[in-house]
Amino acid sequence: MKSVDEQLTILMRGVDFGDALTYKNMESELRQRLQRSVETDQPLRVYCGYDPTSPDLHLGHTVTMRKLRQFQDLGHHVVFLIGNFTGLIGDPSDKDSARPQQSDEEVAAKAKTYTDQAFRVLDPKRTEVRYNAEWLSGLSFKDVIHLASHFTVQQFLARDKFAKRHAAGEAIWLHEFFYALMQGYDAVALRTDVQLGGTDQLFNLMAGRKLMEAFGMKPQVALTVPILVGTDGHLRMSKSTGNTIGISEPPEMMYGKVMSIPDHVMHNYAELVTSWHPDHITELFTQLEQGTLHPRDLKMTLAREIVGLFYPTKDVEAAEAHFVRTIQQKQLPTDMPELAVQPGETIVDLLTRAGFAASRGQAKRDVKGGGVRLDGEVVQDAMLVPSPGPDGIVLQKGKRNFVKLLPAG
């Protein structure tokens, strides 16, 4: 087993509470738990819950699942909790209105495929799968009142989504308050050392700590990780908004969806989804900022990495070939003029020299308007200096102007 310091470095990487004091406190508590684990040779019990709101897990789910896998690889015991009871209500943490309630049959149908999908990330031999209906369905009304007695209405109304709805005079249904109580009781039932969740889940995780104390237990360590942005580039990845990348989707579909994400969220994906070392991520995005790495090339590297987490190399290569053939090249004319790129020439220079723009000012406006593409990707930097390989790259303005850029000499 690795030392406490080594484990702590790995496990706290990527953890974010949005509050330095909370980070410091949780790091200190985790250190104590790890120290105890090393001394007694007893693994920590770590869990994360997933409500079956849809039959498919997506990349957003894998952010916490990859953290669970880190605990597994360090020798700790992981519980993959399927919220087949909490899923009846749905977590209001990330919603601006109440979720539609599901029936038992709907939840059961969606939960069927969760285990197999989870094992695309987790080690099945070291994963305990549980369902929270085991303990939540047996609670009496008296039990629920006891759980509720540890919280105030003000605590709930202070939460961001509830506060906004309350201020706007919108309905907040009483059953929505119960969700945090149920999730908090999960920690009591599982007697866990650590719970994982997204940053929007912090209130629910802290509710678990509070209830564990109320039941005479040592409160769990709460670790939250950032939210993965969806393919739209703005909202969190969620099936209800249709901006997801499913982990069981065909490789060519997964590759294409990664290529569709806006450039400004590439760093979010690199940090939360890939297996890249932080130093490698820093190096890639430094090259991007300096203009030595094209956004398209970085995105293709990102797509290869993400698809490769779930599929063998041959499938990744086939997915990339499919994308290049059907997306990047589908509008290319079979015959187009060629232009040798001279050292230091920018996109503005080339648009002007190719006759696609009457002036450098017009070329800059074309780029700013999103009308210029390089190998199918929208050019965002007018001063980009392209570096074509032997086979060349295609510079496109609008729908009819194409030129193949080749290296000088």
| Per-residue pLDDT tens digits for 191-216 | 999 999 999 889 899 999 999 999 99
* 380-398 mean pLDDT: 89
Q: Provide the pLDDT for residue 86.
A: 86
User: 4-231 domain in CATH 3.40.50.620?
Assistant: yes
User: What are the residue boundaries of the structural domains of the chain, listed by start?
Assistant: 4-231, 251-328, 338-407
Q: Provide the pLDDT for residue 98.
A: 45
Maximum mean pLDDT: which of 16-20, 159-163, 301-305, 337-341? 301-305
Closest CA to 186 of 171, 201, 172: 201
Cα 200 from Cα 399, distance rounded (Å): 43
* 59-73 mean pLDDT: 95
Instruction: Pinpoint the alpha helices (H) of 74-201.
Output: 104-111, 114-118, 133-136, 141-148, 153-157, 160-167, 174-190
Instruction: Give percent above pLDDT 90 in the chain.
Output: 61
Cα 336 from Cα 404, distance rounded (Å): 7
Q: Is the pTM of this model over 0.85?
A: no
Domain 251-328: give its CATH code: 1.10.240.10
Domain 338-407: give its CATH code: 3.10.290.10
- For 327-345, the DSSP string reads IISTT--SS--EEEEPTT-
